Every structure is written in structure tokens, then in C-alpha cells.
Amino acid sequence: MKKASILALVVVPILLGSCIRTEEENTECDIEAVSLHLDTPSEFFYHDYDTIQTVISTDTDIVFTIRSYANVQRVPTTLRVTAGAAVYVITEDGTRTPFLNGSLVDYSNEQVHQFLVVSENKVWSRKYSISVVHDVPSEGNLSIGFENYYLDPSGKYYIWEAPDVFTDGTWKNGNPGFKISKSSAKPLDYPSTPVVGGGPDGSDCLKLETCDTGPFGRIVNMRLASGSMFNGVFDVGNALTDALKATQFGTPYLHKPIMMRVWLRFEPGSVFQDRNGNKVEGVIDEPDAYVVLYRNEDAEGKKVQLDGNDVLSSPYIVGLGRLPHNYNEDGSDKFSNNPIHGLTNEWKEVTIPVEYRAELNADELADKGYSLIIGFASSWGGAHFKGAIGSKFYIDNVQLFCE
Amino acid sequence: MKRIIYLTISLLFIALSVQAQEEDSFEKWGPTTGLKGGGFIARVGYVIGGTTPLPLPAEVRKINGFKPRGGISLGIDGYKMFTKRWGVSAGVHFFWEGFHTDADVKNYYVWLEQEGEITKGYFTGTNVTNTELWGVTLPLLATLRMSPRWNVSAGPYLSLYFGQTFSGEVYDNKDGVGYLREDTPVGTKILMTKENPTPYPDNFPDKMQPVALGIEIAFDWKAMKHLNVFGLLDWGMTDIWDRNFEAITFKMYPIYATLGVAYRY
């Protein structure tokens, strides 16, 4: 008995510590992926992989793009949702009908279907829309002024409208990632901001600024955020773990770009720092501006997606035009005290020709087998968190010329 | 550290077997004669335990690992018996205690504040916590002699912390699941991985209370004329965190047991 009482002194706290309570029901209610089941997907889609879309957590409007002449009707549709969540279709009169995976959904006439996903614990829900739209014919040449922008739903940062051919018609940048690290920042404190009347012609222009990410940025060793602007997808979910993967560059493009002409102005920040925040002597920060065309499907038909790791170095790149930089002999970036980009604090129109290293396949080009990237950054080492806080890169009147 | 436990338990068994051969009486095992009805006990012990919410919140799904840290207690108690069975004791115990734990959590609310910046939301994945405390505990106990050789004492204590550390990090669990839902369970899903774990801000120790109140229960067994074997439990009754600390939504209590030997005078 007495032995037992002493043992109990040790055992009781350990038992208490290991007393795991019953698991609570899931609170999340995401559509994680949507797939359409078609016997002959290539009749409808440019790529077979386009029949499946993984949905990032910030997206609620899921749009499939099919060939302009294709005609879809009722298509078996499968949603992958959070475990335990229930899915309902919301009809026009607002009634909810449970949705079963594999059910036929009528996508004719570009109908938009509303879905409601309710969490297992029935407390949380999210509304989604799914639709299939026809490809918009594009002329090729683009002219972009960064004049149309608005605040995101949280009211924290700006979003710019982009040409329709770009994913969901908006420009992408690192602002959603900056929001995670600097909750106190006002919309104009973000790395990518508009400047009212700041353009060379007096119109609104775009300002990219390399910003300090604050205490949380230091914790995760991502001490600065380069201002950025590109077409593609910014998957903020990866912003903390694998920032290079968060920037998914490019959208399929039917034309062969030959050059970009753009108005630029640049002011470097005073102190260049490395990833660990240490001052690097003898380096002046430089901006980046580029046009890339790359093959978006590999030999096995799998999707090729360039991200921060290989946006300028992938073997799938066929054409590349970039603001001049210094390079080491092995082709790696050479940070220098003698930049050759030729920009100053005065507006200047710059022409960036696209140089091709491979012949384009006309059939593949017509079949959206290539993706176009237009990208800008206020620090060209920003993807690796190198640069000078306070570097400012102003951009306006982007023109892309195609063959 | 485990060796100390084994040693203590072996001592206990040896002592128990010795006990069987002797005739006990309250007089024989009574307070030593140095002071009238009283004396001192100098204790050395191994401390094991943890700082934990009670009961464990449902957000904690699995404890993957637990390792004590530190684990030393040195103390001296003075005692005074008023009757054959009843007395009091008071003491000063210096301690260094702590632990490391690795737990899988689901929907664990986090609220992190650093220099005015706030990140908050619901984390699912692996949460690693390390804490160490050092300081002094001042118990004031009532003592009951249950038998000639067994004493049990219980009463309140006050702990003063000279130093505290509380650190940790979050990342994905063994199944590769690790993410924060920003603000609410339907907010932006931010992935976390072990390759690039997210540490707790370093201001957590600043948010810890410098004092704690609790209940101590001590069992003393008189193994030899001057040697006690003891086990005692310090059960904290006050939250280790400042009342206005929002990063951790539940109260956490230090619960530490000490096993050791004591010299009785």
C-alpha cells in the first residue's frame, strides 16, 4: 500500500499528461481540388491536366477554361473537400441540395454553379463557384498601365487588374505574404503599391519597394520583401515554408512575344543586406524586369510550372528578355557596385528584346503549349531575401509586342 | 536521470525489507533528540514533471515525446512535532526543473505578438515546447505520522522563480500535415514544415509569472536512523502565464514530483 502511494506520486501526473480527449470534429470546409471527368478531354481542354484544378486556400471562384469552339454539357464532377465536410449545391432560389461526388453538372452556356461547403462541426462554411468558360481570343500585343486597382476584401493591400488572358484577370505579387508578417501595415506600406499620378504621363503608375518584414520576418529569416509584380499564381500557403514555390509564374499564351517596352525609374536603397540581414559592402541593389516564354508541358504531358527556383533558369524556357545585369562567369548572379541596368531616378523608356534559344512549334503555340511571364521586382535578389530595404522601382505603360 | 529513479526505488525496497525485520515504535523512530520534538531534514532529489494545461485540451491529439530537463532539488526543512502524531514543517527548496515535449495538435489557437505585429489563427501539426524553471519553493506543511516510520505532510507552498525559459516551434507532423489557418478556420492556409520550422517569439518568458502558489504533499519514510527516502509532489494552482497573455488560451500549471533521499537530524 505504502509503496503504491509513492508510485502514485509519479504515475498520476504522467497519466494526467497523457490523457487525450476525444477528437473534436473538423472546423475546416475547403474545396481542395475539383476534377471534371471527360472521355476525350483534349477535345475540350488545351491540356489533359486542365481537367483537374487544385484550389489554393484563398480561392473561391474556380474557373475551367476550354477551347473557344468546344461545347460542354453535363459533366461528372468530383470535389475533394476537407474530411467530414458536407457539400451542397445552391440553386438560384437559394435552396440547398446535397451534392454527391460524380454527379453531373451542366456547364453549358458558361453557367456559374454555387456550392456551399459546411464543416464537420457545422459551425463554419465557405461558398464557392465553379464554372467552365470559353477561351477568349487574344491579339497578342498587350498594353498595360496599372491604372485599375482596388483593395483586397480584407482592405489591407491593393490588387491590380490585368489583361483577361492572365489567370483570373489580376496581377500577382507578394502582398498577401507581407500581410502575414506585418499585420500593422497600411495599404500604402506594402511592397507593391499604386502611385496616383506618378507615371511619366501623369497617369497612375506602379511602385515596387523592398520592405522590412518586421519581427516575424526575422523569426523565419525572411527579413525583407522585394516588391514584385507578375502574372500567374501567388500561393500564399507556401510563403513561409518555401517562398520560392509561392510564386508560380506564367499563364498560357497563344503568341510569340518579341519585345517588351516599358517605362521604368529606380532608386536603390542605401544598405544592401544578405539573407541574414548582414550589411554587404560594395553592392548596390538592382531591380529586375523580364519576359519569359516557356514550354508548359513535359514529354509525358505533365504540367510544367516555373516558380521562384527556376523562373529564369528552367530548361523549359524557350525565350527570355531581361533588364541587363552583371553575371559571374558561370552564369550566376553577380551582385555589384557597378550596376548596368541603366536606370536612374528619372523615367526612362526601356526596350527589352526577347531572345529565343529554341524554335517554337507553331502547333503547340496555337494549342497553348507555351506560357508567358511578365515579371518585375524591386530587388533582383529578392527571391532569396537579398536586397536593400527602401529600393524603389516605378513601372508604367508596359507594352508587349508579339509576332 | 533514470538511474537516479532506479536508485531511489532500489533504496526504498532495501529499506522496506529491512523494516520487516525490526520492531518499530514511535519512540524509536521519533524525532531525533537534537531539538525537543523537532529537527531538520536536508533533502536532495530528482525532479520530474511538467507544466501542463489541466485537463489536457482537446486540441492536443498525441504526445509524441516527453523529456525532463534539469531535475534537481536541494532543500532543507525544519519540523516540530506537537503531539505524537501531529506537527508542522517549513522549508526552503531550491530547484531546477523543466521539460521538452513534442505533441501533435489540431486546431490549436495561437496568438503571437511581436513589437506590435500580430499573427493569430488555428494551427494543426506538431508543436514542440521546451521550458525550464529555476527558483525556490517555500512549503509550509502539516505533518502526520501515520506510523512510526511513515510521515505524510501536506500544505501550501509559494514558489519564487529566479529564471524561466519557454521556447518552442511548430511544423508539420509525421503525416506531413502542418499549417496555420489565419484568423479563423476558413482563413488563409499557411503551410509549415520541419525544414523551415516557425519558432515561438522570444518574448514568451517575459509573459510568465514570477511567483506561483500550490499545494505540496510529501511522503517521508525513515529508512535508517538519519536517512529518509521521500517522494513529494508540488502541484501548482496558479497559471504560469500573465493574466493578459493571449498567446496561450488555456491556463498552464507546473506539476512536478521530487524523489530523493534526506538526512534527518
Note the pLDDT tens digit of each residue in B38-60: 889 999 999 999 888 888 889 99
In whole angstroms, what is the distance from residue A319 CA to residue A141 CA?
Answer: 16
Phi-psi domain of A394 (left: phi exceeds 0; alpha: psi -120 through 50; beta: other)? beta
Q: What is the pLDDT of residues B96-130, one digit of tens each?
A: 999 999 999 999 998 877 788 888 899 999 999 99
Mutation site for A-interface testing, chosen from B119, B169, B170 by largest number of A Cβ within 10 Å: B119
- The string of DSSP letters for A350-400 reads EEEEPEESS---HHHHHTT-EEEEEEEESSTTGGGT-EETT-EEEEEEEEE
pLDDT for res B154? 97
- pLDDT value at B20 more than 80: no
A124 to chain B nearest CA, in Å? 7
Q: Does the bond joining A191 to the residue before it have cis omega, within 30 degrees of 0?
A: no
- Least Cα separation, residue A84 to chain B (angstroms): 14
Residues of A in contact with B116 (CB under 8 A): 184
CB contact under 8 A, A13 and B66: no
In angstroms, the Cα distances linking A58 to A28, A31, A40, A172, B178 are: 13, 11, 31, 13, 17
* Amino acid B102: pLDDT: 93
* pLDDT tens-digit readout, B171-221: 999 999 999 999 999 999 999 888 878 888 888 888 899 999 999 999 999
Q: How far apart are CA A224 and CA A214, in angstroms?
A: 8
Residue B51: closest C-alpha in chain A: A17
- Measured in angstroms, the CA of A12 and the nearest CA of chain B are apart by 10
Per the DSSP assignment, residues forming a β-bridge with B180 are B123, B190
Residue B166 near residue B254, CB atoms below 8 Å: no
Q: Are A289 and A229 in contact (CB under 8 A)?
A: no
Cell of B163: 529564471
Q: Which residues of B touch A23 (CB under 8 A)?
A: 58, 61, 106
**Whole-number Å distance between alpha carbons of A68 and A144:** 24
Task: Determine contact: B54 vs chain A, CB below 8 A.
Answer: yes
From chain A, pick out residues whose CB is under 8 angstroms from the CB of B104: none
Cell output for A79: 470535389
Those residues whose C-beta lies under 8 Å from the C-beta of residue A11, and which sit 6 or more positions away, are none
B232 in contact with chain A, both atoms CB, cutoff 8 A: yes
A142-402: CATH topology is Jelly Rolls (2.60.120)
Which residues of chain B lie closer than 8 angstroms to A56, CB-CB? 189
Check: CB of residue B172 under 8 Å from CB of residue B198: no
CA dihedral (B84, B88, B91, B97) positive or negative: positive
How many CB atoms sit inside 10 A of residue A140's CB? Answer: 16
Check A241 against B191: CB less than 8 A apart: yes
Nearest-Cα distance to chain A for B54, in Å, is: 8
| pLDDT at residue A282 in the model | 94
* % residues pLDDT > 70 (chain B): 90
How high does pLDDT run on average in chain B?
87
Using a CB-CB distance cutoff of 8 angstroms, which residues of chain A are in contact with residue B150?
Answer: 2
CB contact under 8 A, A219 and B259: no
Average pLDDT per consecutive 10 residues, chain A (403 residues; last block may be shorter): 48 58 94 96 93 93 93 95 96 92 94 96 96 87 94 94 87 94 94 96 96 90 95 91 92 95 97 96 97 96 94 96 94 91 96 95 94 97 96 97 94
The pairing of strands A125-134 and A61-66 is parallel
* Domains of chain A, residue spans: 31-134, 142-402
Alpha helices in A265-382 (DSSP H): 362-366
Say which of B106, B122, B233 has its CB closest to residue A23: B106
Nearest to B119 among A19, A28, A216 (CB): A216
Residue A5: what pLDDT?
Answer: 47
Distance CA A339, CA A72 (A): 53
pLDDT at B9: 60
Using the structure block, give the residue that is written with the C-alpha cell 508579339: A402
Q: Hey, CA dihedral for B201, B203, B207, B211, is it positive or negative? A: positive
Cβ–Cβ gap A241/B193 under 8 Å: yes
Chain B residues whose CB is inside 8 A of the A19 CB are: 55-56
Residue B92 has pLDDT above 50, yes or no: yes
Amino acid A96 reads R
Domains A31-134 and A142-402 agree in fold: no
Given a cut of 60, whether residue B15 has pLDDT beyond it is no
Matching CATH number, A31-134, of 1.10.287, 3.40.50, 2.40.50, 2.60.40: 2.60.40
Residue B27's pLDDT band, with cuts at 50, 70 and 90, is: confident
Could you give the CA distance from residue A362 to residue B238 in angstroms, rounded to a whole number?
74
Tens digit of each residue's pLDDT (9 = 90 or more) over B130-183: 999 999 999 999 999 998 899 999 999 999 999 999 888 889 999 999 999 999
What is the reported pLDDT for A168?
84
Q: What CA–CA distance (Å, rounded) separates A64 from A225? A: 32
ipTM for the predicted complex comes to 0.85
Report d(CA B71, CA B259) in Å as an integer: 10
How far away is chain B from the Cα of A237, in angstroms, using its nearest Cα?
4
